[in-house]
Structure 1
């Protein structure tokens, strides 16, 4: 009778968020994973090209393992080409994990925010459902950008929306009436159109452009109108605040119920005074 072959033990697939560019923003947990002896994988747009994520680790003084592996994710809208690339990357990932060794995937920014990691993890699990995935959170580009520009994304009860600018100015303009702050990601292709719309809405003075936050060559531009006609870096975004937005009344029901319950639990003042007097009398010799 033939013995059942053992089920292969897969290593963990670990998404390590590196932050948007400054290696000092790598979390302690992310740093530990990078130095854990796990194999590294990192994304590139085409074979043998420099990896932005790998550069963050390199600038942090980390030694790049000799057996680090690149995974190619081309920048294209061709659905068939993308499907082939994802299939190759997922198959390569599963093959590496089948060796039983953990694999850390280097992620610029945060692994749960506009990241290839979630797609890669999903595709790998479609090939091997038992693969364990561990996501290490990190600093998102817009959080780092707000800190760099010394502006708040939200205060008190304000609302925030984060969208790719590629959805167009019609949607952006609609959302300006629904949210106090808009984060417009990957603003490069529509920058002039967005500037024109912000000027018409009187919001240029409360907008800020941030490029390559945390990386060499970072810059903050508060005179957003001065960017008209300029070709900006792909890693750029706009923070737009709309202080004129009309807000509805907030429902405070939970807070009122809590205050009411607290009030009911506090006895009236005269009852408290009587109880205190009795306690004092009980302590008398």
Structure 2
């Protein structure tokens, strides 16, 4: 009969923060294992050492490397994978003889800890139990006597190893945050906090709950003195107007008519930074507010002084009104769209909101639309030149128009023998429209009509498929796709897909 495997959290450092259950299991273990750096004492062992029973077998699992530098043929990840396999084998040898093994974990076993890698390798083979521990950030907030999150505040836990621009963006988009894994990453983390407008409300806590514990404002920390066992707490009380806000449900105070600023509506392109126009980049660098659907807003770099207003995917007019309110108050605002803002984007929603007779106050807000590369241009360029002649663009979404209208337009385009670009072909709640659209087109087009399926064009997951109308698989299409259905003259050659400019 095999032994039991326990992942036991021992808390952040103070032995008195070990739970009673953890203490009982440690005191009755046959084998106690713990991780340690090369030439260093195990912090987990130091925390729990007073509870070790006499004669217990100890297994110190010493990391082969603690930084990215290694001569292992598989690099840093290869060295660690080999280490975890060997460590699991050592523990399995004890479990196979019937010994109970307790693997100590600083803080909590499942929170940024090494226990998880042993769990992945052993939990399916042996009876396993996990005992939670007090995580370091909880001890840190207690040490700083600073409430972390209140009521509906959103708490985000971030590793300091994230790319600096992404870290800044996420810090701007949350109410409260905890930043782990500091050490050498501290200078970049501090810059990200400054870019997000959160530096003045960020607290640095070192060795929380340990005798050497200290805390102070992040702005006052000597970067050369930051150990790995440190973290940063940004509390939900840091509501300094520079964090991301949901779209307003009530208007801003009534401004003077002459104070309205120009409202910009910009297209971010289909994805890559290289497809963002210089004009849009300059506009985003100059505004004080950006308003948009969350995933698109995430593509806007965070910087000091920029406030982000994120919202969901089906509240375009509400989003437009929020931007108009800000512009009326004299704020410099940009509404962002993916692709081109004028192609199934936010431009029309902004003009719709501005022309609403129930909101005459918006009529005097100047609006300027800055173009961006559209998704149809990106997919067409990847394929060759399929829209080199007359073409039409249709969205299969029936959220804002009846499906009967969509079908009537598809038939008209098919009869006119136009190349057709199809946006929004499917979603999780719309899975049948692609098949219906294909059948409608086949009423007027030959089965071998060329179809291009572009998915995530411009992104790392990009794929491009050239097929035919008859062979198009509706089940393979999702919201990440854009379809281009060729005309009767569209051709496929070695160079790509193209449509002649002439008609004979």
SS for the counterpart of 1:53 is: helix
1:93 corresponding residue in structure 2: 91
**Which consecutive residues of structure 1, in runs of 5 or more, have no partner in the other structure?**
1-8, 251-285
TM-score normalised by length of structure 1: 0.76
| 8 A Cα contact 1:109 1:139, kept in partner | yes
Task: Please state how far the C-alpha of 1:99 moved relative to its aligned partner.
Answer: 1.1
1:114 corresponding residue in structure 2: 112
More off after superposition, 226-235 vs 210-219: 226-235
Runs of 4+ in 1 over 6 A off after TM superposition: none
1:41-190 to 2 correspondence within 5 Å? 41-46=33-38, 49-58=40-49, 61-63=50-52, 65-66=54-55, 67-74=57-64, 75-77=66-68, 78-125=76-123, 129-190=124-185
More off after superposition, 15-24 vs 163-172: 163-172
Q: Which structure shows the higher strand fraction? A: 2
SS for the counterpart of 1:68 is: strand
Task: Please state how far the C-alpha of 1:135 moved relative to its aligned partner.
Answer: 0.3
Determine which structure has more spread, i.e. the larger CA radius of gyration: 2
**Cα–Cα, structure 1 residues 84 and 201, in superposed 2: closer, same or farther, change >3 Å?**
closer
1:236 corresponding residue in structure 2: 230
Q: State the alpha-carbon separation in 2 of the partners of residues 188 and 155 from structure 1.
A: 29
2:339 corresponding residue in structure 1: none
Q: Number of paired residues? A: 235
More off after superposition, 63-72 vs 152-161: 63-72
Task: Please state how far the C-alpha of 1:65 moved relative to its aligned partner.
Answer: 4.4
Any idea what the Cα deviations from partners look like across 1:116-138, whole Å, max 9, x if unmatched?
A: 1111111224xxx3311100001
Q: Which structure shows the higher helix fraction? A: 1
Equivalent in 4, 9, 12 of residue 20 of structure 1: 12
**Cα–Cα, structure 1 residues 179 and 96, in superposed 2: closer, same or farther, change >3 Å?**
same
| 8 A Cα contact 2:202 2:234, kept in partner | yes
TM-score normalised by length of structure 2: 0.44
Larger relative CO (CA 8 A, sep 6+): 1 or 2?
Answer: 1
Q: State the alpha-carbon separation in 2 of the partners of residues 246 and 52 from structure 1.
A: 38
2:22 corresponding residue in structure 1: 30
SS for the counterpart of 1:166 is: coil
Equivalent in 198, 210, 213 of residue 208 of structure 2: 213
Q: State the alpha-carbon separation in 2 of the partners of residues 246 and 197 from structure 1.
A: 15
**Cα–Cα, structure 1 residues 99 and 106, in superposed 2: closer, same or farther, change >3 Å?**
same
